[in-house]
Structure 1
Amino acid sequence: MTQTIQATRQNTQKENNMSLDTIPQPVRSGRNELVPSRYAVKIGDIDVLVVSDGVLPLPNTMLGHNADPAARAAWIHDMFLPSDASDWPLNVVVVQSGEQTILVDAGLGLDPDLHLPRAGQLIQRLAAAEIDLACVTDIVLTHLHMDHIGGLLVEGVKDQLRSDLRIHVAAAEVEFWKAPDFSHTKMPPGFPDALRATAKRFMAEYGKHFRTFTDEHELAPGVIVRRTGGHTPGHSVVRLASGGDALTFAGDAVFTVGFDQPDWHNGFEHDPEEAARVRTRLLRELAASGELLVATHLPFPSAGHVAIDGDAFRWVPISWDY
């Protein structure tokens, strides 16, 4: 795993210098993809690999359903996004800390009924990165929405995982999905049913591997998962710290629009007012500490810093490190 991440850093420039004649079709996954899909970061003694699961097209109203439509349209225009719908990135993180290999979230998976061919790429991309699923000792789930657990439901994946696999998830999240409340969400038709069904199936198939925690849990040296709530009752973030460096994987606590408009409600938030408080508090913490932020739905590889910008925030992406 560590050698794989180091090799990824060394091979990035080679990949970007490929001749167009050697580039296969973009839909293929592997070392010769037209668009890079993994990015290595070093946090002290902890190796981190950000992996793209693809993109998920969603209506732009999901970015702030409580916002004035004109203000939302102006923000979308200023960000050079399509007026009706746009692609949401899907990022997953693989962490090597000590003897543990940790997968943080698992992407969307490949449900043919979803008709989302540009998402659900995680399993192929882990294979392309030469990461053996049998080496994964722990999985941390920020929450149980299907774009964070679906990769583990892909046919054949469970058979490749260890029998002693530990899946860390907040107890409040498990309890919530026994009878989930969608009354405060604003999702496209069909999404609530799909989310319910996926979470139910996931808990049935993987429940025996759950290692639940209440508020905070250190699962490996320098790797702490902390429940924030808001997006879902058990939504959690993962903080990595080693050698004076730190990185927080924020899951769905932060979206691109959340820097400029932290009070706008995302359509997938089950408690949007609490989610806005969590987002603001987390962004202030990250701005004060200066540590790196990675999040599920920020543009790949999503690694950057947070700065205060008046009453809002500013995302400062890191320069791509070759």
Structure 2
Amino acid sequence: MLGTLDKSASRLARGNLTVTALSDGYLDIPAAYFSNVTQTEQDAVSPSTRFGANTWLIETGNRKILVDAGSGEYLKERFPTSGTLTWQAPEKTEERAAVTDIVITHMHADHIGGLSLNGSSLFPNAEIHVQAAEWDFWTDEALLTSVPEDKRPLVGLIQALAKPVGNQLRLHRGDADIGDGITLLSAPGHTPGHQALHLSSGNKEAILLADVVVSDVLQFANPDVRYALDSDPDLAVKTRRALFDRLSADRIPFAATHLSTDRFGCLETRDNGFAFVEI
């Protein structure tokens, strides 16, 4: 079943919760996507830097909660190494049907590409959790004509992927408890309604940051580094610094979508920034 999709994936037990990282491949991102960097930092990611593409499965009681759905088949032309979860494969019908919930951290195509295929939901039994601000922004019909022309194919793709799951939505407005020790954390900046997850069971906790941080090479040491796909770069930095401060002060284990590892770690303060230490 779902827990055996990737036997080598990292797992973290938090009391009654088990979190398994499921890799959807990787993406090579041009160095030009980063700004507010020193020449040394720029050189460290030139000509491109590798992003992981982690999703997660949370298992607790009778719930199987998928955190993001990967990119499906939709980014293959640009990123041939993406979409390795292949949720669309017919042989995964039973596994998809077993998913009770999906938390969409945000609606970029590398996170929702596996939600639907050819106008049909791939996870018909799942309740889909997304921030209302995120859903409203991306599904606004006016967005398709208001964005620059080169961005319209991406917006059109996002809207096409989202439409088939509209009747499965549970929209949230800010932080939200969705039961079993799982709290959605409003973490805007990367997108208008980006969210992270806080997991708690007994005295144990963990956080899934999603795209609060996208580059472990740059943004741990210098959280002020900007990323071209952040919708509000200043707010993204503010959100990142607030969560980094919390993670380091409380020694909370965490993982993030685009780290070069699928493992959990903790943050330590280091000089004027932070350092990631695997656990």
What is the Cα deviation at residue 66 of structure 1? 3.1
Q: Where do 4+ consecutive residues of structure 1 move more than 4 Å?
A: 124-131, 154-157
- Give unpaired runs (5+ residues) of structure 1: 9-28
TM-score normalised over the length of structure 1: 0.77
1:283 aligns with 2:247: no
Is 1:151 aligned to 2:114, yes or no?
yes
Q: Is the 8 Å Cα contact of residues 141 and 169 (structure 1) preserved in structure 2? A: yes
Q: Which segment is superposed worse, 272-281 or 53-62?
A: 53-62
Relative distance call for 1:154 and 1:278 in structure 2 (3 A) is same
**Which of 68, 74, 77 is 1:111 aligned to?**
74
The partner residue of 1:227 within 186, 197, 212 is 186
Q: CA deviation at 1:100?
A: 1.2
Structure 2-normalised TM-score? 0.88
- Is 1:95 the counterpart of 2:50? The answer is no
Query: Aligned-pair distance for 1:72?
Result: 2.8
Mark the runs of 5 or more structure 2 residues left unpaired by the alignment: none
Matched, 1:47 2:18: yes
Hey, what's the Cα distance between the residues in 2 that align with 1:174 and 1:229? 13
Q: Which residue of 1 aligns with 2:171?
A: 212
Quick one: distance in 1 between partners of 2:189 and 2:96? 31
Aligned residue pairs, count? 275
The question of 1:169 aligning with 2:169 is answered no
Contact 1:30 1:124 in 2 (8 A): no
What percentage of aligned pairs have identical amino acids? Answer: 30
Residues 126 and 293 of structure 1: CA distance in aligned 2, closer, same or farther (over 3 Å): farther
Q: Report the aligned-residue RMSD.
A: 3.0
Residue number in structure 2 paired with 1:245: 204
- Equivalence for 1:72: 41
Distance 1:302 1:131, change over 3 A: farther
Distance 1:113 1:132, change over 3 A: closer
Looking at structure 1, the residues matched to 105 and 263 of structure 2 have their Cα atoms a distance apart, in angstroms, of 17
Structure 1 residue 30: Cα displacement: 6.9
Deviation sequence 1:13-65 (CA, Å, 0-9, x none): xxxxxxxxxxxxxxxx976xxxx4x2222111101110110001110122x22
The structure-2 alpha-carbon separation of the partners of 1:275 and 1:112, relative to structure 1 and needing over 3 Å to count, comes to: closer
| Alpha carbons 2:88, 2:117 under 8 Å: kept | no
- The structure that has the greater radius of gyration is 1
Q: Distance in 2 between matches of 1:294 and 1:49?
A: 11
